[in-house]
Structure 1
Amino acid sequence: MPFINDKLEYLTKKQEEQLAERAVARELEGQQKSAIKTRFRFEVPDVLARMRSRIIGQEHALAAIENMLKVVKTDISDPEKPLYVGLLLGPTGVGKTETVRVLAEAIHGKRNSFCRVDMNTLSLDHYAAALTGAPPGYVGSKEGATVLDKELIEGTFSKPGLILFDEIEKASDQVFQTLLNIFDNGLLRSTTGQDTINFRNTIILMTSNLGAREMDQFTNSRVAFLLKTIGFYVNPSNWGKQGTQILDGLIKKKLEQTFKPEFINRIDERITFKWLERNRMEEIVETFAGQLGQRLQRHGCSLQLERSAVDFLIENGFDKRYGARAIRRAMKQHIELPVAELLLASQVDMKNVVLLARKGTDGSRINITAERAEGLENGKLAMTGEP
């Protein structure tokens, strides 16, 4: 009987969670009186260390995330609202969604330990039922189906839940109305009234590309040219206070044109991600190559890039408009594909072999060769599996 088995599995899991929560509570009781007592079992410095190793060139955004985590960690948020409601703004490919993945990994141990809702799938008004379930009398009303994962949203006693509403500007007005209720009281009741999802232990993050086009137009406009001539440098990564105010004004105007005031007013914080500059591309190449190196460990080999290969990837992959995704595509084309072809063609055991990537003599491609570690020269940029 599948239903009974599912019910038993659910009850067993809930019992295990309750036992874990009691253990945490006992541990808190045994702490020294001088220590701050908090139920959350993550350490803010550890989370930020992991995030700074993965999210490149977004120090301002990570500082905002750090401040949010400090408040969450102390458990002093309003108990009748979500722990935090944040809107991540900025161009595509700059790390907004990756920030949520790394945050989930740092807190829960897995990159996919968060509920992700792609709002472009909820662009029509009647799609609000995907959040609350079909109303009584409609097909599917008895099943109470929803795109929301209750377990990931509610989290546990010692770890907050995490949800991402991706590309929030594409949602319908009815969906926004549903979100207003969540932001207000931290609860979402199904249309049948039989189930409630509790967001009061949840970090709610939303992403949007709103304002990115205006930012690009501004930095390439005649106004920007005039500002340059009077000594105001308009590179977004180096703007001072005046530039930040102009940028905030552009984004605020775009938000007000897109969202209703009551929605904007319920967002705790807007965090703007900036364009990735060319001088940060080497760090991004290192990150992607390190991740590929980890995947190569299943074959017993590692990856090492020469300087010429790194420069080639940056030259052929850097595009400010598309950010890190452009570099990722270059990695797939010029590194992953040759590596895959080499592995498939290999007739020997690849264990303890280093795959060395260097720019080809004709300058049009990267060559991958399999070499023993002891035969390599110094001066290489090693990517051996640690991102």
Structure 2
Amino acid sequence: MAAEERRKFPLEQRLSEHIIGQDDAIKTVASAIRRRENGWYDENHPLVFLFLGSSGIGKTELVKQAAKYLHKDVEKGFIRFDMSEYQEKHEVAKFIGAPPGYLGYKEGGQLTKKLEECLNAVVLFDEVEKAHPGVLTIMLQLFDEGRLTDGQGKPIECKDAIFFMTSNLASDVISDHVDKIREKAAENNKHKDEQKLEDLEAGERINISKKFKDDKVRPILKRAFRRDEFLGRINEFVYFLPFSQSDIRKLVTKELQYWSEQAKKKHDISLEWDHNAVTVLADGYDTHSGARSIKYEVEKRVLNQLAMAQERELIEKGCVIRLTAANAEELTKTDESSIEPPTIKLQLLQKGKEDKYVDINLEGGDK
């Protein structure tokens, strides 16, 4: 990519359009790629990253977006492996190809074939901790020498490739640590007379200390990978943090914006929403599923209603629909005294002397 375009539209900005709540991870990846693009890197070794954090918080998506930035042909330039498929010793041959005399040796290995096609590819090893130690030995050679020898003894030079690994190792430890820091920040905020949105978001930003990484996380990694030299060839250990409340609301808004665009494009329907709707949908966030849970929540509580309303001819092309919350007053209650939990409801804009929104009756709504 031309230097002028990179200056006008920095990589951090590009990645932030797709990844929510992981500013430090974005900065780390963007800085490493910038060094590489401008010639400030070790040409004898490929770049190697290990992404740490729980599922559904942007690890794989960040790799995908980096690949799109670096390669016009993403199909060729992005190579992804699910390492849970390489847990047995015999699957080492599947990775680099069987040696001569063994069944399938002419077919080559899954990794070696793809690297030959694109020596500067972005390669993702998902859930790397599940790989067999024999596969990790091959990866160590790859990271250390920037070279891989296939089953037939043919060397493949791939020093220009960029390797990403993702892992859920230590995710519970990281989450607990971050939650405690955020709880402390929230407690401190209670004593402030005024709370601006910027102040609240600043309190949700977390810096993980070197001491925590060395004392808590590294021992977990050493037990899993068993080899210091493997960890020693990783350029960057990148920490993905659990979403804060403001991050979750941003995820909801992003998902609604996507479906607003689809509603306009496919059905010529304008879709709007208020802050109460965002709050109700954000309550459906599940830490085990991460961002995916917001997608499911919008499908279940919004798209189901829209599809039903369209089928019953309660909405039509050119109309304006607003999402809001039924029993919105219950949102402010912190105890269990709620008569009925808040739900999402659809309202149709009726135009006249005074425009007004009218509830769409679907007999059961989004329950």
Letter in 1 for 2:251: I
Q: Hey, what does 2:362 align to over in structure 1?
A: none
Which is further off, 285-294 or 123-132?
285-294
Cα separation, partners in 2 of 1:282 and 1:365, compared to 1, 3 Å: same
1:114 partner amino acid: F
- Match for residue 251 of structure 1? 217
* Percentage of pairs with the same residue: 26
Paired position in structure 2 for 1:357: 323
- The alpha-carbon distance between structure 1 residues 149 and 329, as it changes in their structure 2 partners (threshold 3 A), is farther
Per-residue deviation, 1:181: 1.4
Residue of structure 1 in register with 2:361 after alignment: none
Counterpart-to-counterpart distance in 1, 2:115 and 2:311? 41
Match of 1:306 among 261, 268, 274: 274
Distance verdict in 2 for CA 1:216–1:69, change over 3 Å: closer
Q: Secondary structure at the match of 2:322?
A: strand
User: Per-residue CA shift, 1:220-266, capped at 9, x if unaligned?
Assistant: 89xx9xx99xx9xxx9955567x552244211111111111111011
- Alignment match, 1:326: 293
1:189 aligns with 2:168: no
Aligned counterpart, 2:241:
274
Matching of residues 37-52 of structure 1 within 5 Å: 45-52=9-16
Q: How does 1:166-315 map to 2 (within 5 A)?
A: 166-193=126-153, 197-216=156-175, 237-238=204-205, 243=209, 245-259=211-225, 260-296=227-263, 297-315=265-283
Per the TM alignment, residue 371 of structure 1 is displaced from its structure 2 partner at its CA by 5.0
How big is the shift at 1:174? Answer: 0.8
State the distance in 2 between where 1:149 and 1:339 align. 46
Q: Matched residues in 1 for 2:122 and 2:118: separation? A: 8
* 1:367 and 2:345 correspond: yes
Q: Give the alignment partner of residue 133 of structure 1, picking from 73, 86, 97.
A: 97
Corresponding letter in the other structure for 1:134: A
Structure 1 CA distance for aligned equivalents of residues 315 and 281 of structure 2:
29
Please report how far the alpha carbon of residue 328 of structure 1 lies from its aligned counterpart in structure 2 after TM superposition.
Answer: 2.5
**Do structure 1's residue 81 and structure 2's residue 45 form an aligned pair?**
yes
Instruction: Give the structure-1-normalised TM-score.
Output: 0.71
Q: Which residue of 1 aligns with 2:198?
A: none
Q: Please give the TM-score of this superposition, normalised by the length of structure 2.
A: 0.74
Q: Label 1:190 to 1:152 Cα distance change in 2 as closer, same or farther (>3 A).
A: closer
Q: Is the 8 A contact 2:53 2:241 kept in 1?
A: yes
1:342-383, CA deviations, whole angstroms, 9 ceiling, x for partnerless residues?
444549863x444432223565532335658999779xxxxx
1:287/1:154 Cα in 2 relative to 1: closer, same or farther (>3 Å)? same
2:197 corresponds to which residue? none
Shifted more, 67-76 versus 369-378: the winner is 369-378
Tell me by how many angstroms 1:299 deviates. Answer: 3.8
**TM-fit CA distance, 1:306:** 2.1
The 5 Å alignment of 1:28-43 reads none
Q: Could you say if the C-alpha distance between residues 218 and 348 of structure 1 is closer, same or farther in structure 2, counting changes exceeding 3 Å?
A: closer
Quickly say closer, same or farther: Cα 1:273–1:348, change in 2 above 3 A: closer
Specify which of 59, 62, 72 is matched with residue 96 of structure 1. Answer: 59
Distance change in 2, residues 1:292/1:348 (3 Å): closer
Q: Which runs of 5+ in 1 are unaligned?
A: 1-23, 29-34, 379-387
Specify the alignment match of 1:62 in structure 2.
26
- Displacement of 1:312 in angstroms is 0.7
Shift of 1:101: 1.9
Give the letter aligned to residue 174 of structure 1: G
The question of whether the paired residues in 2 share the 8 Å contact of 1:130 and 1:145 is answered with yes
Q: Is the 8 A contact 2:44 2:146 kept in 1?
A: yes
More displaced, 119-128 or 43-52?
A: 43-52
In structure 2, the residue matched to 1:10 is none
Aligned partner of 1:32 in structure 2 is none
Aligned residue number for residue 15 of structure 1: none
SS class of match (1:54) = coil
Amino acid at match of 2:105: S
CA RMSD, 1 decimal = 3.7
Aligned-partner Cα distance in 2 for 1:53–1:318: 21
User: d(CA) in 2 for partners of 1:149 and 1:372?
Assistant: 60
Say if 1:132 and 1:190, in contact at 8 Å, map to a contact too: yes
Residues 174 and 363 (structure 1 numbering): CA distance in 2 closer, same or farther, change over 3 Å?
Answer: same
